[in-house]
A and B are shown apart, each in its own frame.
Chain A
Amino acid sequence: MDAWWLGVYVVVAMGLGALGVAFFERAQAVPLPRSVGLAATFGAGVLGYALFVLELFGVHPDRGTFVSLSFAALPGLALALARASRRVAPAPRLAPRARFASVVLLTVLAGCFGAVALKALGLGLYEWDAFAIWALKAKVIAGDGLVPRPAYFSDVSLSYSHLDYPLMVPLQMVGVFAVLGRVDDQLAKLPEVLCYVGLMALVFSFCRRRTSLPTALAVTVLVLAAPCTLRHAGSGMAEVQLMAFYTASVVCVIEWREAPRWRTSALCGVMSAFAALTKNEGLALGAINCVAMVAFPPPRGSGRRLWGGAGLCALVFVVLVLPWLVWSHCIPRTHGDYLGNLSARTFVDNAARIPVIAAAFAGQVTAVAEHGLLWLVLLGTAALRWRTFGGATIRVAWLLLVLHLLSYALIFVVTPHDVRWHMASSLHRLVLHALPLAGMLVAMHLSAPAPEPATATPVAPVRAAPST
Chain B
Amino acid sequence: MSGNSSEVSRLLARAPAVLLAGGVSFVCVADLWPGSHVRETVAEALQDPERAMAGHGAVDELFGRRLSPGNTWLRFEGFRGGLDGDGVFLTQVYYRGNYIAWPRRVFVADPSVVVNDGEPMAAASEPPGPERRQALGVRWVVVIARSPAGVPSIDVQGPF
Contact = CB atoms under 8 A, between A and B. Distances in A.
B19 A377 contact: yes
A126 B16 contact: no
B27 A143 contact: no
B129 interface: no
A159 interface: yes
B112 A119 contact: no
A103 to B, nearest CB: 13
Interface string B33-57: 0001110011011100100110110
Contacts of A218: 20-21, 23-24
Chain A contact-residue range equals 35 or more
Contact count band on B: 35 or more
Contacts of B27: 221-222, 225-227, 372-373
A295 interface: no
Contacts of B49: 122-124
B98 interface: yes
Interface in B7-32: 9-10, 12-17, 19-24, 26-28, 30-31
A335 B116 contact: yes
A325 B138 CA distance: 34
Contact of B38 (A115, A131, A369): A115
Interface string A373-388: 1101100110011000
Nearest to A235: B41
B17 A458 contact: yes
Interface string B51-92: 011011000000000000000000000000001000000011
A204 to B, nearest CB: 14
Given A126-B56, A139-B103, A160-B115, A457 B14 contact: yes
Contacts of B9: 451-452, 454
B99 A131 contact: yes
If over half of A's interface residues share one DSSP class (helix, strand or loop), that class is named, otherwise mixed; here it is helix
A454 B12 contact: yes
A124 B109 CA distance: 28
Given A132-B99, A157-B109, A215-B20, A457 B13 contact: yes
B37 to A, nearest CB: 5
A384 B95 contact: no
Contact of A384 (B6, B15, B31, B112): B15
A219 B116 contact: no
Contacts of A157: 107-115
A196 to B, nearest CB: 13
Contact of A372 (B30, B103, B115, B116): B30
B111 A119 contact: no
A288 B92 CA distance: 36
B96 A373 contact: no
Nearest to A186: B49
Contact of A230 (B10, B37, B83, B108): B37
12 contacts: A105-B24, A108-B28, A124-B49, A131-B96, A131-B99, A132-B98, A157-B107, A227-B36, A451-B12, A452-B12, A455-B14, A459-B20
